[in-house]
Structure formats: structure tokens, C-alpha cells
Amino acid sequence: MADGKPFNVLFLCTHNSARSILAEAMLNHLGQGRFKAYSAGSSPRENQQPNPMALEVLRNAGVSTEGLRSKTWDEFGKPDAPHMDLVITVCDNAAGEVCPFWPGHPATAHWGYPDPSEAQGSEEQKLEAFRQTLHAIRRRLELLVNLPLEGVDKS
């Protein structure tokens, strides 16, 4: 960005354990400092943690999992929270919910993906569902990181 600040993106899902975690980690990996990704859930379960299979496929893809944690979207509505430039829902449930007020009026988008944690079958089949979801997210994020952001008004 012309002002040197990264373009902040928040990925939302219901539990913040799989799709939104995959998207956060992948955008931080691909964004090369131009983007700063975050993720949150509309209603994470008590003591929610990132899905171990999500973390495994990220590590296998060479993507850092350091600092990833499940959190509620309420964290990002607080006055001291980072201001988002773009909020993307990655599951249909979160897309249909009434979102909190986001300071700064960020742009919004919906990228729906099936929940890989609902995949049935062997451990390998379940891991493949996570790999396929990560691959689909990566394809969209590669397009996003290659957009010219210089003309985007972040005020």
C-alpha cells in the first residue's frame, strides 16, 4: 500500500477452527507483508482450538501455524482492535448471521467452502478434505494478493 500499512483482512466462520484458520494462515503466508490476516468465529465453542487437521495440512504446505488460535469475532469490534479493510465470511452459517459493527466500515465478501471437519471416512480421506479446502482458499487468495491495492481507499 502507498501508506506502507498492510491491508487488514478478517476471515469469519462459525467456530473459527478450520476454514477461517486456513484462510488466515494462508493469507499471512502469501501476503508478504502487504496483507495482515486475522480470523474469528461468530460462536466458537468454549475452549475451542484450531482443528488439528487444519494445522497439519498448513504445516505440510509449508505455512506457519504459529500464533493461530480460535477466537470470537467480538475481539475485533472493540475500540482497540485493528481496523479491518476487508471482512470475508468463509462459511454459509456466518454469512447469514448479523455481523457486529466493524469500525471503519470495511468491504465485505462471502467465499463459501464446505466444512472439511465434517468429512467422513478414513483419516487420510479427512485430511484430503482439508487439503482440498486449503487449495481452494489458496487459489482465491492468490488472486487477492495480486490485486493492485494502491487505489483502494482505506480511510
pTM more than 0.85: yes
Residue 44 lies in a domain: yes
Residue 129 pLDDT level (bands cut at 50, 70, 90):
very high
Is 13 inside a domain boundary?
yes
The answer to whether 102 and 81 are in contact (CB under 8 A) is no
110 within some domain: yes
Q: Is 114 exposed, middle or buried, given 0-12, 13-18 or 19+ CB atoms closer than 10 A? A: middle
Point out the residues that are catalytic. 13, 91, 99
pLDDT reported for residue 32: 87
Q: In terms of residue numbers, what domain contains 46?
A: 7-145
Query: Does the residue 81 lie in any domain?
Result: yes
pLDDT higher than 90, residue 94: no
Which pLDDT value is given to residue 2? Answer: 47
Q: Contact at 8 Å (CB) between 82 and 104?
A: no
Q: Is 150 among the domain residues?
A: no
| CATH number of the domain within which 13 lies | 3.40.50.2300
42 assigned to some structural domain: yes
Report if residue 116 sits inside a domain.
Answer: yes
* Residue 154 within a domain: no
Instruction: Please measure the distance between the N-terminal and C-terminal CA atoms of the chain and give it in whole angstroms.
Output: 13
For residue range 74-93, list pLDDT tens digits in order.
888 888 889 999 999 998 76
To the nearest whole percent, how much of the chain has pLDDT over 70? 86
Over residues 21-52, the pLDDT tens digits come to 999 999 999 998 899 999 999 888 888 899 99
> How many domains does the structure of the chain reveal?
1
